[in-house]
């Protein structure tokens, strides 16, 4: 059972439903160990409980949860990414009752072994009793044997193109930020490469390169939910341009710092609730020394970007904002075809995007880092069609949306004035691709 369901009943259910939910929690904890953050949420719900009978039952049951052999999971990025893999997989009409970690094997059953071991170390059987590790043959995969139709969650270790004839890959979202593609036409390029997909600005290519001493690879970590018939399946991708990148992605996933404070901060900046259905996309650069004869990789990992749903890069605020126009010049907001935060195409909600463009256009045209908020709705250069989305509570809108989410750490809102911090970010106009 996903934690969100009992939490919702404890928060909004009837007294009888709340009492019954508390009684079920110890059993659920054995099958689906609660994390430290989830236990804290249960404590908070118990403190808010006004019905004495329900509160007494809750205290007894929460005490049982804390003393059962099933461990309370420590907060970690890995546990959050694999949240769906440790749900209590109850029988459903379609017979889905397991989660899968799938790798490709060659004729000698060897491929991405280091990455597989790294993931397996953090998915122990006592905590993930319904998670099954399976191999798919590289050349003649038997997906019926893998039993994809029984999986509620699937982790693919290795680039998706390795998993030939896997029907689930055809259901991946078409708007994923990152993908992995074959080498380009250049004969010197032999490795696969990571692509950042930007619908308006064009793709960015991150190749894998190697000389006699070192290999430099790129890798992605992704989590998203796809519909499969009447069911929803959580998919996790751990993949690089080569085996080095895949291993580095697995290491990063199992070691990236994560706690309640970071979760709260990312939710604040992205402006969205963060839960097990949140789309996650990360880009990494992975380097290592090349040895002859070969040795296990000793990786050096550089974090490039992390996106949750449609957020900006959460690992750092932008140092450059580019307003792309057809002519490379700017007269009003209608000239802007798209906006780049560093090299990332901005994907804000419609009102947020229009406001962000307006603020950047005004900054660029006036060449002043400070602007009166009350004057923004009436500036025809910013809203050439006269439809400002912030006519009402403009100050609150800019403070609560633009400052906190999209421009976090770059702009300040005080006393009716919005100002860009000196030296914090450069705004420029570029010619659109």
Q: In the prediction, which pLDDT does 94 show?
A: 46
Most confident range, picked from 6-15, 199-208, 261-270: 199-208
Q: In the prediction, which pLDDT does 176 show?
A: 96
> Residue 254: inside a domain, yes or no?
yes
CB 84 within 8 A of CB 234: yes
Lowest mean per-residue pLDDT among 43-52, 100-109, 157-166, 326-335: 100-109
More confident residue, 398 or 7: 7
Rounded Cα distance between 380 and 361, Å, is 11
Q: In the prediction, which pLDDT does 253 show?
A: 95
Which residues, other chains included, contact 121 with Cβ-Cβ below 8 Å and sequence gap of 6+? 254
- The total domain count for the chain is 3
- Tell me the per-residue pLDDT of 71-117, one tens digit each, with 9 for 90 and over: 555 678 998 999 888 764 444 444 556 899 999 887 665 678 889 99
> Are 346 and 386 part of one and the same domain?
yes
Please tell me the pTM assigned to this model: 0.80
For residue 410, name the pLDDT band (cuts at 50, 70, 90). confident
SS3 274: coil
> Are 162 and 180 part of one and the same domain?
yes
> Are 206 and 171 part of one and the same domain?
yes
Residue 359's CB is within 10 A of a number of other CB atoms, namely: 25
Q: Among the three residues 288, 308, 328, which one is the final residue of a domain in this structure?
A: 308
Q: What is the average pLDDT across 339-368?
A: 86
Q: Among the three residues 250, 282, 308, which one is the final residue of a domain in this structure?
A: 308
DSSP-assigned beta bridge partners for residue 225: 234
Q: What is the average pLDDT across 139-149?
A: 82
Q: In the prediction, which pLDDT does 405 show?
A: 61
> Are 283 and 387 part of one and the same domain?
no
What burial letters (b/e) apply to 120-153, b meaning 16+ CB within 10 Å?
A: bebbeeebbebbeebbbbbeebebeebebbbbbb
CA–CA distance from 381 to each of 190, 375, 388 (Å)? Answer: 49, 12, 11
Q: In the prediction, which pLDDT does 1 show?
A: 45
Rounded Cα distance between 77 and 177, Å, is 20
> Residue 314: inside a domain, yes or no?
no
- List of long-range contacts for 20-27, beta carbons under 8 Å, 24+ apart: 22/54, 22/57, 22/58, 22/61, 22/62, 23/57, 23/61, 25/61, 25/62, 25/64, 25/65, 26/61, 26/64, 26/65, 26/68
**pLDDT at position 352 over 80:** no
Q: Among the three residues 255, 280, 308, which one is the final residue of a domain in this structure?
A: 308
Q: What is the average pLDDT across 9-34?
A: 86
> Are 148 and 280 part of one and the same domain?
yes
Lowest mean per-residue pLDDT among 8-17, 20-29, 386-395: 386-395
Q: What is the average pLDDT across 121-148?
A: 84
- pLDDT above 70: percentage of residues in the chain: 88
Q: In the prediction, which pLDDT does 433 show?
A: 87
> Are 283 and 346 part of one and the same domain?
no
Q: In the prediction, which pLDDT does 392 show?
A: 56
Rounded Cα distance between 298 and 211, Å, is 16
Element (H, E) at 191: none
> Are 35 and 177 part of one and the same domain?
no
> Are 140 and 205 part of one and the same domain?
yes
> Residue 315: inside a domain, yes or no?
no
> Are 88 and 224 part of one and the same domain?
yes
Domain enclosing residue 96, as ranges: 77-308
Q: What is the average pLDDT across 333-351?
A: 87
SS3 336: strand
107: which 2 tokens? 């004729």
> Are 51 and 154 part of one and the same domain?
no
User: E strands within 290-369?
Assistant: 300-308, 320-325, 336-341, 344-345
Helix 36-48 and helix 52-67: axis angle, to 10°? 160
Rounded Cα distance between 235 and 425, Å, is 36
> Are 100 and 226 part of one and the same domain?
yes
């Amino acid at each position: 059972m996903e934690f969100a369901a009992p939490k919702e009943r404890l928060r909004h259910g009837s007294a009888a439903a709340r009492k019954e939910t508390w009684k079920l929690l110890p059993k659920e904890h054995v099958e689906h160990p609660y994390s430290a953050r989830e236990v804290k949420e249960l404590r908070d719900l118990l403190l808010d409980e006004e019905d004495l009978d329900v509160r007494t039952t809750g205290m007894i049951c929460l005490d049982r949860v804390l003393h059962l052999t099933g461990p309370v999971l420590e907060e970690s990025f890995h546990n959050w990414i694999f949240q769906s893999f440790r749900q209590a997989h109850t029988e459903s009409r379609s017979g889905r009752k397991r989660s899968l970690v799938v790798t490709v094997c060659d004729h000698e059953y060897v491929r991405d072994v280091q990455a597989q071991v790294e993931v397996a170390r953090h998915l122990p059987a006592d905590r993930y009793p319904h998670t099954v590790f399976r191999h798919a043959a590289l050349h003649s995969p038997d997906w019926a044997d893998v039993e994809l139709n029984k999986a509620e969650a699937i982790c693919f270790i290795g680039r998706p193109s390795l998993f030939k004839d896997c029907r689930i890959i055809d259901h991946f979202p078409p708007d994923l930020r990152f993908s992995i593609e074959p080498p380009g036409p250049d004969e010197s390029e032999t490795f696969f490469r990571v692509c950042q997909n930007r619908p308006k600005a064009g793709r960015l290519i991150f190749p894998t390169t190697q000389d006699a001493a070192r290999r430099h690879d790129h890798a992605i970590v992704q989590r998203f939910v796809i519909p499969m018939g009447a069911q929803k399946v959580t998919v996790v991708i751990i993949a690089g341009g080569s085996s080095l990148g895949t291993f580095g992605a697995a290491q990063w996933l199992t070691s990236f710092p994560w706690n309640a404070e970071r979760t709260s901060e990312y939710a604040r900046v992205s402006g969205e609730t963060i839960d097990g259905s949140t789309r996650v996309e990360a880009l990494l650069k992975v380097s290592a020394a090349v040895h002859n004869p070969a040795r296990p990789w000793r990786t050096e990992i550089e974090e490039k970007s992390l996106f949750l749903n449609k957020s900006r890069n959460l690992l750092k605020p932008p140092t450059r904002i580019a307003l792309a126009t057809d002519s490379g010049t700017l007269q009003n907001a209608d000239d802007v075809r798209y906006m780049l935060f560093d090299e990332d195409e901005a994907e804000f909600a419609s009102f947020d995007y229009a406001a962000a463009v307006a603020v950047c256009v005004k900054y660029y045209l006036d060449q002043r880092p400070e602007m009166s908020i009350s004057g923004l709705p009436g500036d025809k250069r910013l809203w050439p069609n006269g439809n400002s989305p912030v006519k009402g509570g403009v100050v609150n809108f800019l403070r609560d949306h633009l400052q906190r989410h999209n421009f976090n750490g770059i702009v300040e809102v005080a006393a009716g004035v919005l100002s860009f911090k000196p030296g914090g970010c450069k705004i420029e106009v570029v010619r659109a691709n």
